[in-house]
Structure 1
Amino acid sequence: MYSNEFGTHVPESQRPWSTPLPGYAPVDVTPPELRRSGLAASVAEGWAEPYVTPEDVPNWPARQVTALVPFTLNAWGWPLNPTGRTGRTGRKLGKWGENAAADPIVVAGRGRNRRVLLIKRGDIGVWAIPGGMVDPGETAPAALVRELREETGVDLGDLTPTVIARRYVDDYRNTDHAWICTSSALYQLRGVVPATAGDDAVAAAWWPFTNLTALEDAILAAGGQLYAAHTPLLAAALHQR
């Protein structure tokens, strides 16, 4: 069963768009700042596009060509979440359709001394990879460097990371018509470097990274929680040598 705290529950077998689901009534989770009355202010702040509905978006073919994860449009020209129905409609993100993110995974040391740099998110209070949305006109590599510097104070602009994943992110803000896909890249350092929380982060710290269980146990012992949506990205990083 796929479930969502603020949405309609959708059985896993009925998530595919190709499966008929009569009476499907997803919950509109669009916040005031992305509705018609509040949208102009969000656009002026630079994080939201000025389209009230997907029908207003003029360049769906171009967006489909450049998408990290392929997606289709329905008969009304609305983008369809590539993972299927979510039980939520509207948008809680800056763009309709795919919202590109960048997640830099910074690992220091090797073997028993291996550590990973995480931040505690200010919005939901969990430990996660420092990262965020790619700004309009920005490339994913530039966003990796910027987000890391803004959220941890660590500047790795002189290093070339290894891209380890381009994938859909199971984020709590995703809906049927707006979702996040990320480019995740691995930076490997000889040892830990000083990190200080900034921007959307309320804390930054190095955690044991010999395996996912050790990481989760360390965070839990400190009274925290690991952001579940980032577990696949961290698992991919662990397989890098």
Structure 2
Amino acid sequence: MRDWSVSWPAYSPVDVTPPELLPTALAQEVPDWAEGAATPADVLDWPKRRAAALIPFELDGRGWPLHPHGRTGRTGRNLGRWGENQAVDPIVVAGSGDQRQVLLITRTDIGVEAIPGGMVDPGETAPAALVRELHEETRVDLFGHRPVILGQDLVDDWRASDHAWVVSTSALYLRPATVKAVAASDAAAVAWWPFSSLDELDTAITAAGRTLYAAHRPLLKRALDHLSA
């Protein structure tokens, strides 16, 4: 939406904080996937977080983090941390040319086809998180396989707000052929899809009565661009 430098007195974002992250709930119990800070004012290490951020961000007059791309229309927090939440998206591609396929899961939270990925744990590196998340969600083990790091991008995650967002490290894993995959953690289903182009992928997913997760389209396109280079 509008950049933070543009005045918008009538701006009234919707609070997307789920019940378990409201201050009253956090005072009783902090979920194992979230920090206990009820508001950004309760976070004491903003200089450290800003220095470690994959994409630079600013703080407002209250000391609250501001989404790097501007207003989102949403406020509050529906992610583990205030400010940047680092994630990984391992893009596993098998075969080549017209026979190329990509491994996608059906997400349990919003029911769309997506790259199998997730959040980087505290103290974990992105390469380790890529392998862990892929195995947790699909049981595909690519430990020891060196991927091509495609980029680090601020993704349009459905949980993002003005003060909490997701930056993902996407990586491309190339395999000569498909391997067995089993839907596991956070995955309602897993399947290999045709991937010679984004249009072909869209057509196949639509024909199956499914929807491709919009936030992952740019990451998948970047993978295809790399493969076509």
- What TM-score, normalized to structure 2? 0.97
Structure 2 partner of 1:6? none
Structure 2 partner of 1:21? 8
Structure 2 partner of 1:162? 148
1:35 equivalenced with 2:22 (yes/no): yes
Picking from 181, 190, 198, the partner of 1:195 is 181
The Cα of 1:23 is off from its aligned counterpart by 2.2
Contact 1:102 1:134 in 2 (8 A): yes
Structure 2 partner of 1:182? 168
Counterpart-to-counterpart distance in 2, 1:24 and 1:225 = 31
- What TM-score, normalized to structure 1? 0.92
Picking from 106, 128, 136, the partner of 2:92 is 106
Comparing 62-71 and 31-40, the one that deviates more: 31-40
Comparing 34-43 and 218-227, the one that deviates more: 34-43
Aligned residues: 227
Picking from 33, 41, 50, the partner of 1:64 is 50
Q: Report the 3-state secondary structure (helix = DSSP H, G, I; strand = E; otherwise coil) of the residue aligned with 2:226.
A: coil
Counterpart-to-counterpart distance in 1, 2:122 and 2:184 = 21
Query: What are the superposed Cα offsets for residues 7-56 of structure 1, whole Å, 9 maximum, x if unpaired?
Result: xxxxx4xx10000001212111111100122225663x420001011011
Q: Report the 3-state secondary structure (helix = DSSP H, G, I; strand = E; otherwise coil) of the residue aligned with 2:128.
A: helix
Identity of counterpart residues, as a percentage?
61
1:92 equivalenced with 2:70 (yes/no): no
Counterpart-to-counterpart distance in 2, 1:141 and 1:42 = 31
Contact 1:34 1:42 in 2 (8 A): no
Structure 1 residues 42 and 206: CA distance shift in structure 2, 3 A: farther
Contact 1:89 1:177 in 2 (8 A): yes
Amino acid at match of 1:67: A
Contact 1:42 1:48 in 2 (8 A): no
> How big is the alpha-carbon RMSD for the aligned residues of Structure 1 and Structure 2?
1.1
Amino acid at match of 2:7: P
* Mapping 1:230-241, distance limit 5 Å: 230-241=216-227
